[in-house]
Amino acid sequence: MAKLEQIQQDFQRYVLHGDGAIEQHVRGTARVPAATRLAIYSDGYRARLIEALATNYPVLAQLLGPSDFAELGKAYVMNELSTFCSIRYYGHALADFLATQAQYAPAPVLAELARWEWTMGEVFDAADGTPIDASALAGLPPASWAELRFAWHPCVRRLQLAWNAPPIWKAVSATAEPPAASLEPAPIQWLLWRRELKTYFRSLSSAEAAALDAARAASTFGELCVLLCEHVEEAQAPAHAASFLRTWLDGGLLVAVRSS
């Protein structure tokens, strides 16, 4: 008699890969053969994963329609096993899948829309944090500003997108007619974050995007000023850095400020 562990492994290989070794352990009848009984589980497993994809990518699912999204889901499930304890995180590689598969790569807006939706989900699910405001800087001596570093809320995310995926997402989410897919004149920098239970996003200038990315990588306020000299006149760099900092504070993006 086969050990339970072996039977479980055989069953898993059947569900994931179609291996038929488990069939010897399953009794069938003339009315319901063993293959039919087993298919209930393997088909159900894949159907549940496709449902999870639709939950994580509701706009993409609506845009493609039930039939085309089901086809995409089946292709993705065949290529990507579920490796997470929670099904919430299934589908993390869908954007890369869409960007590299011959059937979908000719429509790159789909990959960018998937990347946008997944990032929006990450923002909403991110850990909580307590934002600080401008008062946290009020008592700092002027001499310490050059060495200030900033701690960011866990929800903050950044994206660079070449297509108009965010306007498409916004229109479909509002049950409005989405704009036609179009390539932007230049890639757009996006900032996404959450405040309490509401998710926000906005586009960034090249100067703010560079400063924000540097600040998230632990650059000091003084280093941000130097960096901004590549985008604005040197004399204006400190004022731009201070303006960006005030915007980040007002948006609830920062949770701490520290002096080196």
Those residues whose C-beta lies under 8 Å from the C-beta of residue 17, and which sit 6 or more positions away, are none
Cα–Cα distance measured from residue 132 to residue 228, given in angstroms and rounded to the nearest whole number = 24
Tell me the CA distances in angstroms from 260 to 54, 145, 183, one per residue in order.
Answer: 46, 10, 43
pLDDT digits (tens, 9 = 90+) for 34-68: 666 766 666 678 889 999 999 999 999 999 999 99
| Among the listed residues 223, 197, 222, 224, the one whose alpha carbon sits nearest the alpha carbon of residue 212 | 224
Instruction: State the Cα–Cα distance between residues 38 and 11, nearest whole angstrom.
Output: 9
Question: Could you tell me the two tokens for 2?
Answer: 């086969």
**pTM for this prediction:** 0.87
Torsion of CA 48, 91, 65, 166, to 10 degrees: 150
List, in sequence order, every residue forming a beta bridge with 194; answer none if it has no partner.
199
pLDDT digits (tens, 9 = 90+) for 100-139: 999 999 999 999 999 999 999 999 999 999 999 999 998 8
**Distances, alpha carbon 32 to alpha carbons 7, 26, 29, 35, 155, in Å:** 21, 11, 5, 8, 50
Residue 124's pLDDT is 96
